[in-house]
Amino acid sequence: GESSVDESAFTGESIPCDKSVGENVSAATTNLYGAIKCRATRVGSDTTLSKIIELVENTSAKKAPVSKAADKVSGIFVPFVIAIAIITFIVWIIITNDFGFSLARAISVLVISCPCALGLATPVAVVVGSGIGAKNGILFKSAQALEETGKAGFVVLDKTGTITKGTPMVTDIFTTGDISEDELLKIAAGLEKNSEHPIAKAIISYAGEKKITPANATDFLALVGHGICATIEDIKVMGGNLSFMTSNNIDTSLVEKITNKLADEGKTPLFFSTKEKLLGVIAVSDAIKPDSVQAIDDLKKSGLKTLMLTGDNHRTAKAIAKISEVDYFISDCLPEDKEAVISRLKKHSKVIMVGDGINDSPALVSADVGIAIGKGTDIAIESADVVLMKSTLKDVLGAINLSRKTLKNIHQNLFWAFFYNCISIPIASGILIPHFNIALNPMLGALAMSLSSIFVVTNALRLNFTDIYKIKRTIKNTPDFKEIFYENNNCNQKECKKMKKKVTIEGMMCMHWVAHVEKAFSELGGVLVVSVSLEDKCAILSLSEDIDDSLLTDTVNNAGYTVISIENC
């Protein structure tokens, strides 16, 4: 059969994909309308969804908790102070032969150096920082997430549902002849009101906003992958794509330039006509969120490099990248491709990944910090380290600034805690007694120790007065994306259009040999993802740049195998 399938969970493409006999469909995608009979070629752990879950689990296992410097120092500091106290007692008992005086000096050292301030320095700042984040709808799942977010040099953004709204919307209406825009919209809404297609819903919703009542349509007929037909006021009316118009001998030359421009802007043009002539065009696209452009600009002004990763097609991705002004974009990305790109970026700097879909979850886990949009899928929220409850990109900068401020506050607290001890311990041990006859009473030592803790807590509470959305540029030696994804540094492209090649190999007999081939290809520059099939005796390479076939052949030969053929996918 034929149908339209919503594959946005995997690809991020907001417009449904038309399917006909012989094409592949995946579990966990949604059949919108049309009856289809499918043959299961991959089941259980072999399905695409299971592979995504496996990627998430494997990457999660690789994450190790960051060791806190204060914990390490405390482990050395406490026995060090005890040793100083013992030495102080021995020195003064030898000098004065006064047990009470010597014991008082030793106790003063122990009391004044009690590492309360040192122990409070990190957790109190983390608690205050997390609380400020929660007030602003930014939820940090751990202290590690709060610490790592501000260290990032790259911010990687999903497109659909992150930069864009994630649902199709009417953007443009063009008419031909004497028909008005309202009349065209009335006819279009009448045609689409019986359809469950997301584009149909966008047109009906737009007509509702304009308070236009859909025309009464009869004899409704949906032609999956092409368009729809119906009778309105005894006139046969059609709506659909360009090929549907062409197959019905409708002349579309009047709007050719307009539709080409719309397509370049990442919009989907829909044609409406009677049996004899074209009535007009309605363009639909996944609109950018109102604050996305400003949020991305703020991230760039703060010294961060922005990259858009999307499973959408190159043309649409390029249009959104141009509007949003991200530094770079990569289109046609599958979930494993996104994870591979993140892993590659991590070799150069800390990486933040922002996403909302199932297809983003491997990348969210792989990144140093995964940030999920609050309106996203459960698996994305579960995979992320930070959740933005207000689902706005401006909170990405808020999370980064809050992390930077909190980390700076922790460093201040640790400095003052150490500085206090460096001054107070010698005084408590009696270093001033020979010259000034000043001895520190243990009770005053306890008071000084308490004041140091109060100072650390008060300093942490200053975070409450921080404007987390203020732009403050931080200079980072983060390389440009073209230096990472292209060997030719003279390349001026701002986008990376992912290419695929299929290499058929002779000689692979077991999974050990598969791993050997994967390793050989992975070490080549320009290779994003390697997928080797023992059953099909081939390797599928996802490339960020074209690699000469002779180099691929030499790589296989050096690994001890023979190339049968190389073809573009």
Element at 5 (helix H, strand E)? strand 3-6
Element at 71 (helix H, strand E)? helix 69-96
**Single-letter amino acid code for the residue at 406:** T
- Is 182 catalytic? The answer is no
Q: Which of 44, 433, 15 is nearest to 225 (CA)?
A: 15
Which of 6, 158, 332, 356 is the catalytic position?
158
Quote the tokens at residue 185. Answer: 């919209």
Identify the burial level of 183 via C-beta atoms within 10 angstroms of its C-beta, where 0-12 means exposed, 13-18 middle and 19 or more buried: middle
Q: How far, in Å, are 1, 292, 331 from residue 325 at the CA level?
A: 41, 10, 15
> What residues contact 106, with CB distance under 8 A and at least 6 apart?
85, 86, 88, 89, 92
What does the alpha-carbon distance between residue 422 and residue 420 come to, in Å, rounded to a whole number?
Answer: 6
**Single-letter amino acid code for the residue at 378:** D
Residues in the chain: 569
What does the alpha-carbon distance between residue 185 and residue 270 come to, in Å, rounded to a whole number?
Answer: 12
Identify the burial level of 379 via C-beta atoms within 10 angstroms of its C-beta, where 0-12 means exposed, 13-18 middle and 19 or more buried: buried
Catalytic residue positions, numbered: 158
